[in-house]
Amino acid sequence: MPADSTLHAPGRWRTVDILTCAVLAVAFGVVFWAWNFVWAGVDPALTFFPPLAGILYGVWLIPAVLAPLIVRRAGAGLLTEALAATVSALLGSVWGLLVVYQGLVQGLGGELAFAAGRYRRFGTAAAVAAGALACFAATLWDVFVYYPTYDLWAYKVPYIAFAMLSGAIVAGLGSRALVKAMLPTGVLDRFPAGRERARI
């Protein structure tokens, strides 16, 4: 059966599912905090076309895709993304506590893709869609909260488009690649994702 057709009925949350989301959140919260400096360093170099900064966005959306691909529970992306954003804020995000609310928005965006498949499809197509939708939600927040006066076609639309591309590739395909890389190690054997091990 192709990976995109992998079916799994979402069940009850287990302790191991919650702990896994929490561990991913802490790890990526640190990554988020570090990536803030990358964004701050690269952004000034893009003055020739500021919307291109959206291409850096995908890293911030990985938990919203990776967690659901592993534990396959409704709300996994929302929980992990929001917790990661909270960890980032506690470490000293330049955006302060607003980043926590944005984490919730990002997580909800990613959840839409898996919800559309009734939490039964966790293949490449779902991962790519989740990454793109999470970035769409994130940058929609940006243009309303941070860039409300910026030009729609000169900045907002291309910024969102570049971010969605980044989300699809980095968060979507990147998360699928991480899962595939972990499968042979056996660390996912306790999760629904581990059932793909024999097919990969």
pTM: 0.91
State the average pLDDT for the chain.
92
SS3 content of the chain, % helix, strand, coil (to 5): 80, 0, 20
Q: What pLDDT is attached to residue 61?
A: 97
Q: Say how far apart CA 83 and CA 20 lie, in whole Å.
A: 12
Rounded to a whole number of angstroms, the CA Rg of the chain reads 17
Q: What pLDDT is attached to residue 117?
A: 94
Largest CA distance in the chain: 52
Q: What pLDDT is attached to residue 194?
A: 86
57-73 tens-digit pLDDT: 999 999 999 999 999 99
Q: Say how far apart CA 85 and CA 25 lie, in whole Å.
A: 8
Q: Check pLDDT > 50 for residue 4.
A: no
Q: Assign 93 a pLDDT band (cuts: 50, 70, 90).
A: confident
Which stretches within the chain are classed as H helix? Answer: 15-42, 62-71, 76-92, 98-116, 124-145, 157-166, 174-182
Q: What pLDDT is attached to residue 198?
A: 53
Q: Assign 10 a pLDDT band (cuts: 50, 70, 90).
A: low
CB neighbours of 83 closer than 8 A, spacing ≥ 6?
A: 21, 22, 25, 26, 29, 63, 103
